[in-house]
Structure 1
Protein backbone atom coordinates (compact mmCIF):
# COMPACT_ATOMS: atom_id res chain seq x y z
CA UNK A 1 0.00 0.00 0.00
CA UNK A 2 1.13 3.51 -0.74
CA UNK A 3 0.70 6.27 1.76
CA UNK A 4 -1.82 8.98 0.77
CA UNK A 5 -0.13 12.35 0.29
CA UNK A 6 -2.33 15.21 1.50
CA UNK A 7 -2.99 18.05 -0.97
CA UNK A 8 -1.03 21.24 -0.39
CA UNK A 9 -2.97 24.19 0.93
CA UNK A 10 -3.94 26.76 -1.70
CA UNK A 11 -4.34 29.75 0.59
CA UNK A 12 -1.40 31.59 -0.96
CA UNK A 13 -2.67 30.93 -4.48
CA UNK A 14 -6.14 32.22 -3.61
CA UNK A 15 -4.70 35.25 -1.85
CA UNK A 16 -2.60 36.08 -4.89
CA UNK A 17 -5.62 35.85 -7.18
CA UNK A 18 -7.63 38.07 -4.83
CA UNK A 19 -4.89 40.71 -4.80
CA UNK A 20 -4.62 40.58 -8.59
CA UNK A 21 -8.38 41.01 -9.03
CA UNK A 22 -8.34 43.88 -6.50
CA UNK A 23 -5.55 45.65 -8.40
CA UNK A 24 -7.40 45.21 -11.72
CA UNK A 25 -10.66 46.55 -10.29
CA UNK A 26 -8.92 49.55 -8.71
CA UNK A 27 -7.13 50.22 -11.99
CA UNK A 28 -10.40 50.14 -13.91
CA UNK A 29 -12.02 52.47 -11.39
CA UNK A 30 -9.13 54.93 -11.70
CA UNK A 31 -9.32 54.82 -15.49
CA UNK A 32 -13.10 55.35 -15.37
CA UNK A 33 -12.65 58.29 -12.97
CA UNK A 34 -9.94 59.74 -15.23
CA UNK A 35 -12.22 59.59 -18.28
CA UNK A 36 -15.15 61.01 -16.30
CA UNK A 37 -13.07 64.01 -15.19
CA UNK A 38 -11.79 64.51 -18.74
CA UNK A 39 -15.37 64.42 -20.07
CA UNK A 40 -16.43 67.03 -17.51
CA UNK A 41 -13.53 69.25 -18.56
CA UNK A 42 -14.34 68.77 -22.25
CA UNK A 43 -17.95 69.78 -21.60
CA UNK A 44 -16.91 73.03 -19.92
CA UNK A 45 -14.49 73.91 -22.72
CA UNK A 46 -17.17 73.10 -25.33
CA UNK A 47 -19.55 75.53 -23.60
CA UNK A 48 -16.96 78.31 -23.63
CA UNK A 49 -15.97 77.61 -27.25
CA UNK A 50 -19.58 77.75 -28.36
CA UNK A 51 -19.72 81.31 -27.04
CA UNK A 52 -16.26 82.32 -28.28
CA UNK A 53 -16.71 80.98 -31.81
CA UNK A 54 -20.38 82.04 -31.94
CA UNK A 55 -21.64 78.57 -32.84
CA UNK A 56 -25.23 77.33 -32.82
CA UNK A 57 -24.20 74.05 -31.17
CA UNK A 58 -21.44 72.83 -28.88
CA UNK A 59 -18.29 71.89 -30.82
CA UNK A 60 -16.54 68.57 -30.40
CA UNK A 61 -13.77 68.87 -27.77
CA UNK A 62 -11.10 66.29 -26.96
CA UNK A 63 -8.54 66.66 -24.19
CA UNK A 64 -5.80 64.36 -25.47
CA UNK A 65 -3.19 62.65 -23.33
CA UNK A 66 -3.44 60.05 -20.56
CA UNK A 67 -3.76 60.23 -17.66
CA UNK A 68 -5.94 63.32 -17.55
CA UNK A 69 -5.42 63.59 -13.77
CA UNK A 70 -1.70 64.19 -14.19
CA UNK A 71 -2.37 67.09 -16.55
CA UNK A 72 -5.06 68.36 -14.16
CA UNK A 73 -2.63 68.38 -11.22
CA UNK A 74 -0.20 70.43 -13.28
CA UNK A 75 -2.93 72.70 -14.61
CA UNK A 76 -1.42 72.24 -18.08
CA UNK A 77 -3.38 70.37 -20.76
CA UNK A 78 -0.87 69.68 -23.48
CA UNK A 79 -3.23 69.18 -26.43
CA UNK A 80 -6.91 70.08 -26.73
CA UNK A 81 -8.56 69.51 -30.12
CA UNK A 82 -11.72 71.39 -31.11
CA UNK A 83 -13.89 70.65 -34.18
CA UNK A 84 -17.11 72.17 -35.51
CA UNK A 85 -18.86 71.35 -38.80
CA UNK A 86 -21.38 73.13 -41.00
CA UNK A 87 -20.56 76.55 -39.55
CA UNK A 88 -22.09 79.55 -41.38
CA UNK A 89 -20.32 82.92 -41.57
CA UNK A 90 -22.18 85.92 -42.91
CA UNK A 91 -20.92 89.49 -42.96
CA UNK A 92 -22.92 91.62 -45.38
CA UNK A 93 -20.67 94.66 -44.86
CA UNK A 94 -17.65 92.67 -46.07
CA UNK A 95 -19.55 90.57 -48.61
CA UNK A 96 -18.88 87.29 -46.78
CA UNK A 97 -21.55 84.60 -47.06
CA UNK A 98 -20.31 81.08 -46.33
CA UNK A 99 -22.65 78.35 -45.11
CA UNK A 100 -20.75 75.09 -44.71
CA UNK A 101 -17.37 75.70 -43.06
CA UNK A 102 -15.49 73.16 -40.96
CA UNK A 103 -13.47 74.69 -38.13
CA UNK A 104 -10.57 72.97 -36.37
CA UNK A 105 -8.24 74.19 -33.64
CA UNK A 106 -5.33 72.50 -31.86
CA UNK A 107 -4.71 74.13 -28.48
CA UNK A 108 -1.17 73.51 -27.22
CA UNK A 109 -0.70 73.89 -23.46
CA UNK A 110 -4.00 75.22 -22.16
CA UNK A 111 -3.27 76.45 -18.64
CA UNK A 112 -6.11 76.43 -16.11
CA UNK A 113 -6.61 74.97 -12.62
CA UNK A 114 -8.83 71.86 -12.47
CA UNK A 115 -11.21 73.41 -9.94
CA UNK A 116 -11.72 76.43 -12.21
CA UNK A 117 -12.13 74.21 -15.29
CA UNK A 118 -14.79 72.00 -13.71
CA UNK A 119 -16.62 75.05 -12.36
CA UNK A 120 -16.62 76.67 -15.78
CA UNK A 121 -14.52 79.55 -14.49
CA UNK A 122 -11.94 79.85 -17.25
CA UNK A 123 -11.60 83.62 -17.35
CA UNK A 124 -7.92 83.33 -16.40
CA UNK A 125 -7.14 80.36 -18.66
CA UNK A 126 -4.46 80.93 -21.30
CA UNK A 127 -3.15 78.97 -24.28
CA UNK A 128 0.50 78.95 -25.33
CA UNK A 129 -0.30 78.31 -29.00
CA UNK A 130 -3.34 77.75 -31.20
CA UNK A 131 -3.11 76.16 -34.64
CA UNK A 132 -6.41 77.08 -36.29
CA UNK A 133 -7.86 76.10 -39.65
CA UNK A 134 -11.00 76.67 -41.69
CA UNK A 135 -12.14 74.28 -44.41
CA UNK A 136 -14.06 75.79 -47.35
CA UNK A 137 -15.94 73.00 -49.11
CA UNK A 138 -17.27 72.54 -52.62
CA UNK A 139 -20.84 73.40 -51.56
CA UNK A 140 -19.87 77.02 -50.92
CA UNK A 141 -17.64 77.19 -54.01
CA UNK A 142 -20.46 75.85 -56.20
CA UNK A 143 -22.88 78.46 -54.87
CA UNK A 144 -20.44 81.38 -55.23
CA UNK A 145 -19.32 80.42 -58.74
CA UNK A 146 -22.95 79.97 -59.84
CA UNK A 147 -23.59 83.65 -59.22
CA UNK A 148 -21.91 84.27 -62.59
CA UNK A 149 -22.53 81.01 -64.49
CA UNK A 150 -24.71 78.12 -63.27
CA UNK A 151 -22.59 75.15 -62.18
CA UNK A 152 -23.64 71.77 -60.86
CA UNK A 153 -21.74 69.11 -58.90
CA UNK A 154 -18.61 71.25 -58.74
CA UNK A 155 -15.84 69.33 -56.98
CA UNK A 156 -12.43 70.32 -55.58
CA UNK A 157 -9.27 68.21 -55.81
CA UNK A 158 -5.51 68.74 -55.77
CA UNK A 159 -3.96 68.88 -59.22
CA UNK A 160 -1.80 65.77 -58.98
CA UNK A 161 -0.17 66.59 -62.31
CA UNK A 162 1.79 69.32 -60.52
CA UNK A 163 4.62 68.52 -58.14
CA UNK A 164 5.16 71.38 -55.70
CA UNK A 165 8.79 72.03 -54.82
CA UNK A 166 10.17 74.43 -52.25
CA UNK A 167 12.86 76.71 -53.64
CA UNK A 168 13.34 78.86 -50.55
CA UNK A 169 16.51 78.00 -48.64
CA UNK A 170 16.08 77.82 -44.87
CA UNK A 171 18.62 77.33 -42.11
CA UNK A 172 18.95 73.83 -40.61
CA UNK A 173 16.28 73.24 -37.98
CA UNK A 174 14.11 76.07 -39.28
CA UNK A 175 10.55 75.03 -40.23
CA UNK A 176 9.64 75.55 -43.91
CA UNK A 177 7.76 78.71 -44.86
CA UNK A 178 3.96 78.35 -45.00
CA UNK A 179 2.59 77.37 -48.41
CA UNK A 180 0.61 80.30 -49.83
CA UNK A 181 -0.33 78.72 -53.20
CA UNK A 182 -1.57 75.30 -54.23
CA UNK A 183 -2.47 73.64 -57.53
CA UNK A 184 -6.16 72.79 -57.98
CA UNK A 185 -8.43 70.71 -60.16
CA UNK A 186 -12.11 71.68 -60.40
CA UNK A 187 -14.65 69.33 -62.00
CA UNK A 188 -18.34 69.71 -62.63
CA UNK A 189 -20.88 70.58 -65.25
CA UNK A 190 -22.70 73.61 -66.62
CA UNK A 191 -25.53 74.18 -69.06
CA UNK A 192 -25.15 75.82 -72.45
CA UNK A 193 -28.22 76.40 -74.60
CA UNK A 194 -30.10 73.66 -72.77
CA UNK A 195 -27.21 71.20 -73.09
CA UNK A 196 -25.29 69.84 -70.09
CA UNK A 197 -21.54 70.19 -70.57
CA UNK A 198 -18.95 68.48 -68.35
CA UNK A 199 -15.81 70.42 -67.57
CA UNK A 200 -12.46 70.04 -65.85
CA UNK A 201 -10.48 73.16 -64.90
CA UNK A 202 -6.89 73.42 -63.72
CA UNK A 203 -5.26 76.36 -61.96
CA UNK A 204 -4.18 77.46 -58.53
CA UNK A 205 -5.51 78.89 -55.32
CA UNK A 206 -3.50 81.69 -53.71
CA UNK A 207 -3.63 83.23 -50.25
CA UNK A 208 -3.61 87.02 -50.09
CA UNK A 209 -4.75 89.25 -47.27
CA UNK A 210 -6.41 86.41 -45.41
CA UNK A 211 -8.59 85.46 -48.42
CA UNK A 212 -8.11 82.90 -51.17
CA UNK A 213 -8.18 83.73 -54.86
CA UNK A 214 -8.82 81.03 -57.46
CA UNK A 215 -7.10 81.41 -60.82
CA UNK A 216 -7.97 79.06 -63.70
CA UNK A 217 -5.35 78.49 -66.40
CA UNK A 218 -6.87 75.64 -68.40
CA UNK A 219 -10.40 74.38 -69.04
CA UNK A 220 -11.25 71.07 -70.72
CA UNK A 221 -14.78 70.35 -72.03
CA UNK A 222 -16.32 67.05 -73.05
CA UNK A 223 -17.64 68.91 -76.11
CA UNK A 224 -14.83 71.06 -77.50
CA UNK A 225 -17.16 72.49 -80.17
CA UNK A 226 -18.23 74.82 -77.36
CA UNK A 227 -14.72 76.08 -76.69
CA UNK A 228 -15.93 79.66 -77.20
CA UNK A 229 -17.45 79.55 -73.68
CA UNK A 230 -14.07 78.75 -72.05
CA UNK A 231 -13.22 82.43 -71.26
CA UNK A 232 -16.62 82.81 -69.56
CA UNK A 233 -16.04 79.67 -67.48
CA UNK A 234 -12.56 80.82 -66.46
CA UNK A 235 -13.98 84.13 -65.28
CA UNK A 236 -16.82 82.46 -63.39
CA UNK A 237 -14.43 80.13 -61.56
CA UNK A 238 -12.05 82.95 -60.61
CA UNK A 239 -13.74 83.26 -57.22
CA UNK A 240 -12.36 85.13 -54.20
CA UNK A 241 -13.38 83.71 -50.84
CA UNK A 242 -12.73 85.48 -47.53
CA UNK A 243 -13.66 83.46 -44.43
CA UNK A 244 -12.46 86.17 -42.04
CA UNK A 245 -10.37 85.35 -38.99
CA UNK A 246 -9.50 81.80 -38.02
CA UNK A 247 -10.34 80.38 -34.56
CA UNK A 248 -9.03 82.54 -31.69
CA UNK A 249 -8.26 85.39 -34.11
CA UNK A 250 -5.42 83.64 -35.94
CA UNK A 251 -4.59 85.16 -39.34
CA UNK A 252 -4.45 82.71 -42.30
CA UNK A 253 -0.85 82.19 -43.40
CA UNK A 254 -1.11 78.98 -45.43
CA UNK A 255 -3.47 77.27 -47.85
CA UNK A 256 -3.69 73.73 -49.14
CA UNK A 257 -6.06 71.72 -51.31
CA UNK A 258 -7.51 68.39 -50.26
CA UNK A 259 -10.28 66.32 -51.85
CA UNK A 260 -13.46 68.33 -51.50
CA UNK A 261 -12.07 71.47 -49.87
CA UNK A 262 -9.64 74.36 -49.57
CA UNK A 263 -8.03 74.59 -46.13
CA UNK A 264 -6.72 77.87 -44.68
CA UNK A 265 -4.54 77.67 -41.57
CA UNK A 266 -2.60 79.91 -39.22
CA UNK A 267 -0.98 80.04 -35.79
CA UNK A 268 -1.45 82.45 -32.91
CA UNK A 269 0.40 82.42 -29.58
CA UNK A 270 -0.33 83.51 -26.02
CA UNK A 271 -4.10 83.88 -26.23
CA UNK A 272 -6.87 83.66 -23.59
CA UNK A 273 -9.22 80.68 -23.72
CA UNK A 274 -12.17 83.09 -23.60
CA UNK A 275 -12.50 86.75 -24.42
CA UNK A 276 -11.79 88.94 -21.41
Structure 2
Protein backbone atom coordinates (compact mmCIF):
# COMPACT_ATOMS: atom_id res chain seq x y z
CA UNK A 1 0.00 0.00 0.00
CA UNK A 2 1.55 3.28 -1.11
CA UNK A 3 1.72 6.18 1.33
CA UNK A 4 3.02 8.79 -1.21
CA UNK A 5 1.18 12.01 -2.30
CA UNK A 6 -1.60 11.59 -4.91
CA UNK A 7 -0.59 12.30 -8.50
CA UNK A 8 -1.51 15.78 -9.76
CA UNK A 9 -4.28 16.06 -12.42
CA UNK A 10 -3.66 17.60 -15.81
CA UNK A 11 -2.95 21.35 -15.76
CA UNK A 12 -5.86 23.06 -17.56
CA UNK A 13 -4.45 26.58 -17.32
CA UNK A 14 -2.80 26.62 -20.77
CA UNK A 15 -6.10 25.53 -22.34
CA UNK A 16 -8.03 28.25 -20.53
CA UNK A 17 -5.47 30.88 -21.53
CA UNK A 18 -5.62 29.72 -25.14
CA UNK A 19 -9.43 29.94 -25.10
CA UNK A 20 -9.26 33.49 -23.76
CA UNK A 21 -6.71 34.47 -26.40
CA UNK A 22 -8.85 32.98 -29.19
CA UNK A 23 -11.99 34.73 -27.96
CA UNK A 24 -10.17 38.04 -27.53
CA UNK A 25 -8.51 37.71 -30.93
CA UNK A 26 -11.81 36.91 -32.63
CA UNK A 27 -13.50 39.86 -30.93
CA UNK A 28 -10.65 42.14 -31.99
CA UNK A 29 -10.86 40.93 -35.60
CA UNK A 30 -14.63 41.44 -35.65
CA UNK A 31 -14.23 44.91 -34.16
CA UNK A 32 -11.62 45.77 -36.79
CA UNK A 33 -13.76 44.44 -39.62
CA UNK A 34 -16.76 46.38 -38.30
CA UNK A 35 -14.71 49.57 -38.09
CA UNK A 36 -13.34 49.11 -41.60
CA UNK A 37 -16.81 48.39 -43.01
CA UNK A 38 -18.32 51.48 -41.34
CA UNK A 39 -15.44 53.78 -42.27
CA UNK A 40 -15.30 52.52 -45.84
CA UNK A 41 -19.04 52.87 -46.44
CA UNK A 42 -19.19 56.35 -44.94
CA UNK A 43 -16.16 57.45 -46.99
CA UNK A 44 -17.53 56.17 -50.32
CA UNK A 45 -20.99 57.63 -49.70
CA UNK A 46 -19.51 60.96 -48.59
CA UNK A 47 -17.48 61.21 -51.82
CA UNK A 48 -20.57 60.33 -53.85
CA UNK A 49 -22.50 63.16 -52.17
CA UNK A 50 -19.56 65.51 -52.66
CA UNK A 51 -19.45 64.76 -56.39
CA UNK A 52 -23.23 65.24 -56.65
CA UNK A 53 -23.27 68.59 -54.84
CA UNK A 54 -19.86 70.01 -55.73
CA UNK A 55 -19.06 70.98 -52.13
CA UNK A 56 -15.36 71.50 -51.40
CA UNK A 57 -15.19 68.96 -48.57
CA UNK A 58 -16.80 65.56 -48.19
CA UNK A 59 -19.80 65.95 -45.84
CA UNK A 60 -20.47 64.00 -42.64
CA UNK A 61 -22.19 60.67 -43.36
CA UNK A 62 -23.42 58.21 -40.74
CA UNK A 63 -24.48 54.67 -41.61
CA UNK A 64 -26.35 54.18 -38.34
CA UNK A 65 -25.60 52.84 -34.87
CA UNK A 66 -26.27 49.16 -35.56
CA UNK A 67 -23.79 46.52 -36.82
CA UNK A 68 -22.49 47.50 -40.25
CA UNK A 69 -20.38 44.50 -41.29
CA UNK A 70 -23.32 42.30 -42.28
CA UNK A 71 -24.91 45.24 -44.11
CA UNK A 72 -21.67 45.76 -46.01
CA UNK A 73 -21.47 42.10 -47.00
CA UNK A 74 -25.01 42.11 -48.36
CA UNK A 75 -24.51 45.52 -50.02
CA UNK A 76 -27.52 47.22 -48.40
CA UNK A 77 -27.47 49.73 -45.56
CA UNK A 78 -30.63 50.18 -43.52
CA UNK A 79 -30.24 53.79 -42.37
CA UNK A 80 -27.89 56.50 -43.60
CA UNK A 81 -27.86 60.19 -42.68
CA UNK A 82 -26.10 62.98 -44.58
CA UNK A 83 -25.58 66.56 -43.36
CA UNK A 84 -24.49 69.57 -45.39
CA UNK A 85 -24.14 73.10 -44.01
CA UNK A 86 -24.43 74.87 -47.37
CA UNK A 87 -25.13 73.48 -50.83
CA UNK A 88 -25.74 75.44 -54.01
CA UNK A 89 -26.53 75.01 -57.67
CA UNK A 90 -26.20 78.10 -59.82
CA UNK A 91 -27.84 81.05 -58.04
CA UNK A 92 -29.86 78.87 -55.62
CA UNK A 93 -28.31 78.24 -52.22
CA UNK A 94 -29.75 76.05 -49.45
CA UNK A 95 -28.55 75.71 -45.88
CA UNK A 96 -28.71 73.08 -43.14
CA UNK A 97 -29.50 70.29 -45.59
CA UNK A 98 -29.99 66.90 -43.95
CA UNK A 99 -31.05 63.69 -45.62
CA UNK A 100 -32.33 60.49 -44.02
CA UNK A 101 -31.92 57.56 -46.39
CA UNK A 102 -33.32 54.08 -46.02
CA UNK A 103 -32.28 51.03 -48.01
CA UNK A 104 -29.02 52.34 -49.48
CA UNK A 105 -27.42 49.92 -51.94
CA UNK A 106 -23.63 49.96 -52.16
CA UNK A 107 -22.14 46.78 -53.60
CA UNK A 108 -19.35 45.16 -51.60
CA UNK A 109 -16.89 45.30 -54.56
CA UNK A 110 -17.56 49.06 -54.82
CA UNK A 111 -16.85 49.36 -51.12
CA UNK A 112 -13.52 47.57 -51.58
CA UNK A 113 -12.63 49.69 -54.63
CA UNK A 114 -13.68 52.89 -52.88
CA UNK A 115 -15.55 54.14 -55.95
CA UNK A 116 -19.06 53.92 -57.36
CA UNK A 117 -20.95 55.42 -60.29
CA UNK A 118 -24.31 55.55 -58.52
CA UNK A 119 -26.01 54.54 -55.30
CA UNK A 120 -29.58 53.31 -55.37
CA UNK A 121 -31.75 54.50 -52.47
CA UNK A 122 -35.11 52.95 -51.63
CA UNK A 123 -36.41 55.89 -49.58
CA UNK A 124 -35.20 59.43 -49.02
CA UNK A 125 -36.34 62.32 -46.85
CA UNK A 126 -34.55 65.66 -47.03
CA UNK A 127 -34.87 68.91 -45.14
CA UNK A 128 -33.22 72.22 -45.99
CA UNK A 129 -33.59 75.95 -45.37
CA UNK A 130 -33.85 78.71 -47.97
CA UNK A 131 -33.09 81.80 -45.91
CA UNK A 132 -34.61 85.17 -46.74
CA UNK A 133 -31.13 86.49 -47.57
CA UNK A 134 -30.52 83.64 -50.01
CA UNK A 135 -33.95 84.17 -51.54
CA UNK A 136 -33.15 87.88 -51.98
CA UNK A 137 -29.91 86.84 -53.68
CA UNK A 138 -31.79 84.62 -56.10
CA UNK A 139 -34.39 87.32 -56.83
CA UNK A 140 -31.67 89.80 -57.68
CA UNK A 141 -30.04 87.24 -59.96
CA UNK A 142 -33.32 86.99 -61.89
CA UNK A 143 -33.53 90.78 -62.23
CA UNK A 144 -35.92 91.36 -59.33
CA UNK A 145 -34.38 93.69 -56.70
CA UNK A 146 -36.80 92.63 -53.97
CA UNK A 147 -36.46 91.97 -50.26
CA UNK A 148 -38.28 89.08 -48.57
CA UNK A 149 -39.57 88.92 -45.01
CA UNK A 150 -42.09 86.69 -43.20
CA UNK A 151 -45.71 87.85 -43.32
CA UNK A 152 -47.55 85.13 -41.38
CA UNK A 153 -50.22 82.70 -42.59
CA UNK A 154 -47.69 80.84 -44.71
CA UNK A 155 -46.86 83.92 -46.80
CA UNK A 156 -43.95 86.23 -47.51
CA UNK A 157 -43.85 89.94 -48.11
CA UNK A 158 -41.72 91.06 -51.02
CA UNK A 159 -40.82 94.74 -51.18
CA UNK A 160 -38.98 96.68 -53.85
CA UNK A 161 -39.24 98.81 -56.97
CA UNK A 162 -40.63 97.57 -60.28
CA UNK A 163 -40.36 99.09 -63.74
CA UNK A 164 -43.91 99.44 -65.05
CA UNK A 165 -44.22 100.91 -68.54
CA UNK A 166 -40.95 102.84 -68.21
CA UNK A 167 -41.81 104.19 -64.76
CA UNK A 168 -40.27 102.78 -61.59
CA UNK A 169 -42.99 102.08 -59.03
CA UNK A 170 -42.50 101.07 -55.38
CA UNK A 171 -44.43 97.88 -54.70
CA UNK A 172 -45.04 95.68 -51.68
CA UNK A 173 -46.73 92.33 -52.17
CA UNK A 174 -48.02 89.50 -50.05
CA UNK A 175 -46.83 86.32 -51.70
CA UNK A 176 -47.98 82.76 -51.23
CA UNK A 177 -45.44 79.95 -51.41
CA UNK A 178 -46.24 76.52 -52.82
CA UNK A 179 -44.39 73.50 -54.13
CA UNK A 180 -44.95 72.82 -57.81
CA UNK A 181 -43.12 70.44 -60.17
CA UNK A 182 -40.16 69.97 -57.85
CA UNK A 183 -39.68 73.71 -57.33
CA UNK A 184 -41.03 76.53 -55.17
CA UNK A 185 -43.51 78.91 -56.75
CA UNK A 186 -43.99 82.42 -55.34
CA UNK A 187 -47.29 84.02 -56.39
CA UNK A 188 -48.70 87.38 -55.22
CA UNK A 189 -51.97 87.34 -53.32
CA UNK A 190 -52.12 91.11 -52.76
CA UNK A 191 -50.31 94.11 -54.23
CA UNK A 192 -49.78 97.33 -52.26
CA UNK A 193 -48.70 100.47 -54.15
CA UNK A 194 -48.95 104.21 -53.47
CA UNK A 195 -51.09 104.56 -56.61
CA UNK A 196 -53.63 101.94 -57.68
CA UNK A 197 -52.64 99.53 -60.44
CA UNK A 198 -55.08 98.71 -63.18
CA UNK A 199 -55.27 96.58 -66.28
CA UNK A 200 -51.98 95.87 -68.00
CA UNK A 201 -49.94 97.55 -65.26
CA UNK A 202 -51.34 95.25 -62.59
CA UNK A 203 -50.79 92.22 -64.83
CA UNK A 204 -47.16 93.17 -65.42
CA UNK A 205 -46.48 93.69 -61.72
CA UNK A 206 -48.08 90.35 -60.84
CA UNK A 207 -45.86 88.68 -63.40
CA UNK A 208 -42.77 90.29 -61.84
CA UNK A 209 -43.76 88.97 -58.42
CA UNK A 210 -44.51 85.47 -59.71
CA UNK A 211 -41.23 83.61 -59.29
CA UNK A 212 -40.34 79.91 -59.65
CA UNK A 213 -37.38 78.91 -57.48
CA UNK A 214 -35.67 75.69 -58.64
CA UNK A 215 -34.46 73.28 -55.97
CA UNK A 216 -31.54 71.77 -57.86
CA UNK A 217 -29.26 71.73 -54.77
CA UNK A 218 -31.39 68.98 -53.21
CA UNK A 219 -29.71 65.59 -53.41
CA UNK A 220 -32.67 64.05 -55.18
CA UNK A 221 -33.87 67.06 -57.19
CA UNK A 222 -37.01 67.82 -55.23
CA UNK A 223 -39.25 64.78 -55.60
CA UNK A 224 -42.36 65.13 -53.41
CA UNK A 225 -41.59 68.66 -52.20
CA UNK A 226 -43.34 70.55 -49.41
CA UNK A 227 -42.58 73.96 -47.94
CA UNK A 228 -43.33 75.88 -44.74
CA UNK A 229 -42.53 79.46 -43.76
CA UNK A 230 -40.24 80.13 -40.81
CA UNK A 231 -39.03 83.36 -39.21
CA UNK A 232 -35.62 82.81 -40.83
CA UNK A 233 -36.75 81.56 -44.22
CA UNK A 234 -38.51 78.75 -46.05
CA UNK A 235 -38.21 75.22 -44.69
CA UNK A 236 -38.12 72.82 -47.62
CA UNK A 237 -38.83 69.11 -47.35
CA UNK A 238 -38.48 66.53 -50.10
CA UNK A 239 -39.14 62.81 -50.15
CA UNK A 240 -38.73 60.13 -52.77
CA UNK A 241 -38.66 56.41 -53.47
CA UNK A 242 -36.41 54.48 -55.77
CA UNK A 243 -33.94 57.29 -56.41
CA UNK A 244 -30.29 57.27 -57.41
CA UNK A 245 -27.51 59.31 -55.82
CA UNK A 246 -24.51 60.18 -57.90
CA UNK A 247 -25.92 59.23 -61.31
Quickly name the TM-score band, shorter chain normalised: 0.5 to 0.7
Deviation, 1:102, is 4.7
Q: Deviations over 1:142-179 (max 9, x none)?
A: 2344554564xx5447x3xx4xxxxxxxxxxxxxxxxx
Q: Report what 2:38 is aligned to.
A: 38
Does residue 111 (structure 1) correspond to residue 105 (structure 2)? The answer is yes
Distance 1:140 1:102 in 2: 13
Q: How does 1:127-166 map to 2 (within 5 A)?
A: 127-145=121-139, 147-149=143-145, 151=147, 154-156=148-150, 159=152, 162=153
Deviation, 1:32, is 7.4
Q: Report what 2:92 is aligned to.
A: 98
TM-score by length of 1: 0.56
Deviation, 1:105, is 2.8
Q: Report what 2:155 is aligned to.
A: 184
Q: Report what 1:251 is aligned to.
A: 223
Q: How does 1:1-276 map to 2 (within 5 A)?
A: 34-35=34-35, 37-90=37-90, 97-123=91-117, 125-145=119-139, 147-149=143-145, 151=147, 154-156=148-150, 159=152, 162=153, 183-186=154-157, 203-217=175-189, 228=194, 238-244=210-216, 246-275=218-247
> Which protein has the larger Cα radius of gyration, Structure 1 or Structure 2?
2
Structural RMSD (CA): 4.4
Distance 1:24 1:202 in 2: 68
Distance 2:63 2:194 in 1: 55
Q: 1:248 to 1:240 in 2, by over 3 A?
A: closer
Judge conservation of contact 1:77–1:110 (CA < 8 Å) in 2: yes
Judge conservation of contact 1:245–1:252 (CA < 8 Å) in 2: no
Judge conservation of contact 2:155–2:174 (CA < 8 Å) in 1: yes
Deviation, 1:109, is 0.7
Judge conservation of contact 2:78–2:104 (CA < 8 Å) in 1: yes
Q: Deviations over 1:74-119 (max 9, x none)?
A: 33211111222322212xxxxxx22455543322111234453142
Judge conservation of contact 2:120–2:242 (CA < 8 Å) in 1: yes
Judge conservation of contact 1:127–1:273 (CA < 8 Å) in 2: yes
Q: Report what 1:171 is aligned to.
A: none
Unaligned residue ranges in structure 1 (runs of 5+): 1-22, 91-96, 163-182, 192-199, 221-226
SS state at 2:66 partner = coil
